[in-house]
Amino acid sequence: MTLLHWAVLSPFIAAILIPFLYKYLKRIHTGWFVLILPLALFIYFLSFIPETSSGNVVLNNLDWVPSLGINFNVYIDGLSLLFALLITGIGTLVVLYSIYYLSKQKEKLNNFYVYLLMFMGAMLGVVLSDNLIVIYVFWEVTSIASSLLISYWYTREKSIYGAQKSMYITVFGGLSMLAGFSLLYVIAGTFSIRELIANADLIMASSLFIPAMILVLLGAFTKSAQFPFHIWLPDAMEAPTPVSAYLHSATMVKAGIYLVARLTGVFGGAPEWFWIITIAGLITLIWGSISAVRQKDLKGILAYSTVSQLGLIMSLLGAGSAAFYFQDGDSPLYMTAILAAVFHLINHATFKGSLFMAAGIIDHETGTRDIRKLGGLMTIMPVTATISLIGLASMAGLPPFNGFLSKELFLTGMLSVTEYGIFNLEAIGFIIPIIAFIASVFTFLYCILMFYKTFMGKFDISKLKVKHVHEAPIGMLISPIILAVLVVLFGLFPNLLAYSIIEPAMAAIAPGILSPGEFFDVHITHWHGFSAELFMTLGIIVLGVLLFITFRKWENTAFYRGEQDLFNYAYDYGYDGLIKGSQWLTRIQMTGRLRDYFIYMCTFIMLIMGYTMYRYNLPLIQNLDLSPIPVYTWFVILVFLGSILTIPFLNNRIAIIITTGVSGFLVALLFVLFRAPDLALTQLLIETVSVVLFMLVFYHLPKLKKVKTPPKMKTIKLIISIGFGLMITLGSLSAFSMGQEANYESISEYYTENSKEKAGGYNIVNVILVDFRGLDTMLEVLVVSLAVLTVVSLIRLRFKGGEDV
């Protein structure tokens, strides 16, 4: 393993160590130890900037399951480096902020930092992995870790609700994404992103292209809270503010953005990709901005603003995907959209991170986030007010802050869409800049409302639960101040990042567009002359101010009073329906009768085998070259059948146990006769243990009761018994017959030929269990281990007479 692999895995290693540090070093806040790791990783990733800015790529390979094409290959180019720097850089500031935000006396800090480090490592794995399956593994870890962080205050009902909602929606998307990855493998025969990009023409020509694309986008849209999957993100605000600042401004919600940007090289250029992403992004943009205006909670406003801003970035990536249609690196049209997407990705992390931290400070010092109870905090909390003013002005798109520059680029990109001359944009493309303009007006409005309602007006201490309000301690202010400084710095000097961060990321999003040695022209300025974008900005400000001035006229309308997102009702009704449906299905299945469980299992197996036989024209019972069966073997078989047929007619439990044991020992004898001593030994051990156990518990078993079985149930049992036996017999004979055909390769011959060479063993059965089916055996051991742990836990619980705490 290389240092880059260790960089990805180091947060997980640190997460394992945190409980020990927390236990033995209680006098020191655990965050001080955690802070070292993201800071070190941030510095480490900074060292790759010269490499990526030169157009080079760093690739370190590590075989994991090479037979399945699954390898832990880490891959750093401009795009992955940008995200790695955001994950570790913002992560450092969040950990520093959390040290002062979370009390070591009141909070379970070991849990918090374990979850946070898990999430950080998973995000690094997502953005640095080249293999789709490895990405999926880390992707799902982000869902698990984020749910744990959201439910950190697990005694609150809303925290549990938010965690469950985020888990259900993002895991649904993750499973859909896995199906899409599988289809890509079927098409191209590889899980490597680099190889998929190289085979983009082959993928686009496949009939599976559209299904694969839609399934992958489901994963991206659910993770990045795109409409209508956005409903989980506002409820995730029940997490501690450091979590909100990290997960929902710079990391988790950006995972879907990363996936779309990374796979643009695979799907880009297709009209379906362009339209789905652009329309989904624009709808998310306008829906999020309108919903943010209706919120009264500071973090609620920021949550919907995040939804809106994610839609903005997504729409830009959709518009920029036209790069693969034109295949012209000098065209400014689509490259403006990609430039705006990358630049706003950075800007959003800075201003939204500072705003979340400022909201947390206000909540921490005043005891509320309700803007109806706040007001007049400008003179009491001047530093927090300044941080909020900078962040909100940037998000609203006002100069000279960085948000103004990326917003201007966004408007340019949306206006340029109408000039593409592709995908029927000349007919309906005019709608795109209109939606962008309306959404920007509402963005300006919720920014000015949030600042005015919080910091302006009259301060009324009677509305608050606390007796004294003051500015936050300097330790809690350091992180948001740093982010606010970056907002100003990137606004005044935007080209600081032009060719070190932004241009390499653009080149990674659009691979193959430029010739070797060429670079995209990245030059960001405040003044572009009297352009359409400038007049749109002026219109946004004027309309936003008018709506703010007339606020009192419409603040009592149903539009403003209603905070609940309409799609939450659909989720709640759907969730309740699923619970009721699962309860109904469970009542049908879980009857408590072993007989019914066997009926379900046997019926399912019969249906699967029956369909398989029908699908592949089985059974093929022909040319059965069978060895002659000696008379004594027939005698054993007849005795075995006799013992089996006797069991249903016995009413004495002792007789049933003995007869069942006899049938088992006769099976062992058959294994001996067929020269399978290992199987015979295993069967003897199992039967001996089973009979002994039955006899040991015999005294505690209830008496047998004669139950009258309805004729209908007897008929069902008879049909299933005969049908199941017939299926097994036909399947076995078909397998034997196919093994003797020249057209079919016998699996037994494969094991015979390869057991010694590939697994180093002569005993084929042992080799199959340990090597060829080693993963299956390992999972079986895991299941048994979990069962043992469960039994031990239940025993301890019973001994203590209550909850095992």
Which of 705 and 230 is assigned the larger pLDDT?
A: 230
Higher pLDDT, 342 or 331: 342
> What span, in angstroms and rounded, lies between the C-alpha atoms of 127 and 194?
13
Q: Sketch the domain layout of the chain as residue ranges.
A: 270-580, 773-805
Spatial neighbors of 494 by CB under 8 A, at least 6 apart, are: 343, 402, 405, 524, 525
Q: Which residue has the tokens 């009677």?
A: 462
593 DSSP 8-state letter? -
Among the ranges given (17-26, 51-60, 331-340), the one the predictor scored with the smallest mean pLDDT:
331-340
Residue (of 356, 480, 349) closest to 406 by Cα position: 349
Cis peptide before 400 (omega within 30 of 0): yes
Give kind and range of the element (H or E) at residue 64: strand 63-65
Mean pLDDT, the chain, rounded, equals 88
Report the alpha-carbon distance of residue 176 to residue 212 in Å, rounded: 9
* Pick from 51-55, 327-331, 400-404, 602-606: least confident: 327-331
The amino acid at residue 686 is I
pLDDT at 326: 65
| Under 8 Å between Cβ of 344 and 442 | no
pLDDT at position 324, please? 74
H helix runs in 367-401, sequence order: 382-396
Taking a C-beta distance cutoff of 8 angstroms, is the pair 339, 287 a contact?
Answer: no
DSSP code of residue 567: H
Strand partners, 657: none
Q: Which of the residue ranges 176-190, 215-229, 744-758 would you say has the lowest mean pLDDT?
A: 744-758
The pLDDT of 110-120, averaged and rounded, is: 93
226, 173 in Cβ contact below 8 A? Answer: no
- List the single range of 59-63, 189-193, 197-201, 762-766 with lowest mean pLDDT: 762-766
Q: Which amino acid is at 653?
A: R
- The Cα–Cα gap between 254 and 9 comes to 20
Task: Between 144 and 21, name the one with better pLDDT.
Answer: 144
Burial of 703 from C-beta contacts in 10 A (0-12 / 13-18 / 19+): exposed
- The pLDDT of residue 310 is 95
SS3 category, 120? helix
First CA to last CA across the chain, in angstroms? 40
H/E stretch holding 798: helix 774-800
Is residue 223 a contact partner of residue 236, using CB atoms and an 8 Å limit?
no
Residue whose structure tokens are 């946004």: 540
The answer to whether the peptide bond before residue 711 is cis (omega within 30 degrees of 0) is no
State residue 406's pLDDT score.
Answer: 94
Most confident of 158-162, 215-219, 604-608, 794-798: 215-219
Sign of the torsion formed by the C-alpha atoms of 522, 524, 528 and 532: positive
Name which residue leads in pLDDT, 676 or 391.
Answer: 391
CB 633 within 8 A of CB 673: yes
CA atoms within 13 A on the CB side of 372: 7
| Cβ-count burial 729-760 (b if 16+ within 10 Å, e if not) | ebeebbbebbeeeeeeeeeeeebeeebeeebe
Cis peptide before 228 (omega within 30 of 0): yes
For 247-301, write each residue's pLDDT tens digit: 877 788 899 999 999 999 999 888 899 999 999 999 999 999 999 999 999 999 9
CB 412 within 8 A of CB 339: no
Interatomic CA distance for residues 434 and 415, integer angstroms: 9
Q: Is 75 helix (H, G, I), strand (E, B) or coil?
A: strand
CA-CA distance, 83 to 251, in Å (whole number)? 8
Q: In the predicted model, what is the mean pLDDT of residues 431-437?
A: 92
Rounded percentage of the chain residues whose pLDDT exceeds 70: 95
**In angstroms, rounded to a whole number, what is the distance separating the alpha carbons of residues 505 and 577?**
44
Q: Which of 327, 509, 483, 491 is nearest to 409 (CA)?
A: 491
CB 700 within 8 A of CB 788: no
Better-predicted residue by pLDDT, 770 or 504: 504
Q: From residue 17, give the alpha-carbon distance in Å to each of 22, 102, 201, 265, 637.
A: 9, 20, 47, 39, 60
What is the per-residue pLDDT across 373-419, written as a single tens digit (0 to 9) for each?
Answer: 998 899 899 999 999 999 999 999 999 999 999 999 999 989 888 77
Average pLDDT over residues 105-120: 89
Whether 95 and 38 have beta carbons less than 8 Å apart is answered as yes
Give the helix/strand (H/E) hosting 638.
Answer: helix 631-646
Read off the tokens for 391: 């962040």
- pLDDT, greater one: 650 or 16: 16
- Quote the crossing angle between the two packed helices 132-150 and 157-188, to the nearest 10°: 180
pLDDT tens sequence across 39-85: 999 999 999 999 999 888 999 999 888 878 899 999 999 999 999 99
- What value does the mean pLDDT take over residues 458-464? 83
Residue 357's pLDDT band (boundaries 50, 70, 90)? Answer: very high
**Per-residue pLDDT at 800:** 57
Backbone angles phi, psi at 71, to 5 degrees: -135, 145
Three-state SS annotation for 123-164: HHHHHHECEHHHHHHHHHHHHHHHHHHHCCCCCCHHHHHHHH
How many C-beta atoms lie closer than 10 Å to residue 81's C-beta? Answer: 25
Above 50 in pLDDT, residue 441? yes
Nearest to 737 by CA among 626, 630, 608, 628: 626
Nearest to 354 by CA among 288, 423, 403: 403
Report yes or no: 529 and 407 within 8 Å, Cβ to Cβ.
no
Distance CA 414, CA 92 (A): 35
Across 354-363, 519-528, 659-668, 738-747, least confident range: 738-747
Whether 706 has a pLDDT exceeding 90, the answer reads no
Spatial CA neighbour of 416 closest among 328, 332, 330 = 332
Residue pointed to by tokens 């034109």 = 326
Question: Which pLDDT value is given to residue 763?
Answer: 80
What is the DSSP pairing of strand 63-65 with strand 70-71?
antiparallel
Residue 676 vs residue 395, higher pLDDT? 395
Using the structure block, give the residue that is written with the tokens 């049992």.
Answer: 717
User: Does the reported pTM lie above 0.85?
Assistant: no
Number of other CB atoms surrounding residue 612 within 10 Å: 13
Q: For residue 224, what are its two tokens?
A: 């990045």
Residue bearing tokens 């009768």:
593
Query: Which amino acid appears at position 49 of this protein?
Result: I
CA 342 from centroid of its chain's CA atoms: 22
Q: Is the per-residue pLDDT at 329 higher than 50?
A: no
Please answer whether residues 357 and 245 qualify as being in contact, where contact means their C-beta atoms are separated by less than 8 angstroms: yes
Task: Say if residues 494 and 399 touch (Cβ distance below 8 Å).
Answer: no
